[in-house]
Structure 1
């Protein structure tokens, strides 16, 4: 099996690369961090592929020599918060949308035609899409777009299975900067385990940790005015 993973130099992507390699897959670990890519290429079954996912030409050039993949996992992303919505930071907004959403389109352009018939496309979004949360105007909007994109692809693709991943809080270098509680947070190793098990069963949606995501799914049935009152309390 050949598995390509974007965002493989940190967090969930790094753990996915290591765990799939341990299972015997030939793993193409993609990212921008040369030092981390060099470390990953030291593992059996992992080869590095360096590109910036926000540059469609770079993605195409770096992956041109690969003919076919059994599985593509689009995991690359970043998180920045809008700390003052009244003074909206459009540059930050554009940066997050480009990194999290537009890059998905660039990777799909380059990689989707290379997924073999009967193969799998895995798109990593976030459970932030279940509810509007404080300071999440940029991150939440980008991930909402990612989730809709994955669901639409699941409708239109007839020979590739699409799995959409909605993680809760995961302990990674990216979330270390969070200055708020992260209830029921799991390690990156555990997150990768959840994803691999869900992908092996070809689940359409993979969400975890289940207790946390089920709570969010229940809360989203609340009338919007009621949720907004609750959410405003979270931001204080």
Structure 2
């Protein structure tokens, strides 16, 4: 039984976040679900101890939400967005800024207010993306934000050693979520959100520093990253066809 352990999950009202809420609740953890969708948070209230409605870009609301939390054993930073730069010659700087703010800058606000709530011996989990293993077309905004998250997680891990708080960085491949539902390209080895949640849960429980899946995809990408640039660039541009990208 883990009913004395508190897990807080951002981006909890859809996709991987919602699947994580259900998985942790089924494992008898005390779940705090965070998201913008108040209606969905209300639907989850029968399996959560607390629902906190806020936008990750609004620090005032984050602070008010954090004030309602006594302590956290596992902090899962999962909230994020994905949109593409479809024309590099008409670079959408507003879209770029929005994605960087939502996926990366917001983490500073969340860490500021929620990390002090994490108990000694606790964990902080960053849900990043396997898109950071090699560059992909049209992913200038999304990939840059997730690459920044990777560095943040790996750096924070070093600074939290003295505080006895572990950091787990997660690189999922393609997962069936509302974000990937709009993709009109082949998504190899795609898995369901429930499958992703189970893998993440097990990785966190094992206190892994780094977790990537499905390995048929992530190991392929890691191998490609070792090839000469011209080789993997040719493979990616050929396989992505219309210059779409991974998420």
**TM-score category of the 2 structures, normalised to the smaller one:** over 0.9
1:235 is displaced (CA, Å) by 4.1
Closer, same or farther: CA 147–123 of 1 in aligned 2, 3 Å? same
Alignment of 1:49-198 (within 5 A): 49-158=52-161, 159-198=164-203
Corresponding residue SS for 1:220: helix
For residue 245 of structure 2, what is the aligned residue in structure 1? none
For residue 219 of structure 2, what is the aligned residue in structure 1? 214
Contact kept in structure 2, 1:134 and 1:235, CA below 8 Å: no
For residue 48 of structure 1, what is the aligned residue in structure 2? 51
Q: Could you tell me how far apart the structure 1 residues matched to 2:68 and 2:143 are?
A: 35
Corresponding residue SS for 1:116: strand
TM-score, reference length from structure 2:
0.93
Contact kept in structure 2, 1:171 and 1:187, CA below 8 Å: yes
TM-score, reference length from structure 1:
0.97
Unpaired stretches in structure 2, ≥5 consecutive residues:
243-247
Please, which moves more after superposition, 118-127 or 46-55?
A: 46-55
Contact kept in structure 2, 1:40 and 1:47, CA below 8 Å: no
Unpaired stretches in structure 1, ≥5 consecutive residues:
none
Please, which moves more after superposition, 53-62 or 179-188?
A: 53-62
Backbone CA RMSD of aligned residues: 1.0
Q: Could you tell me how far apart the structure 1 residues matched to 2:128 and 2:115 are?
A: 18
How many equivalent pairs are there?
A: 235
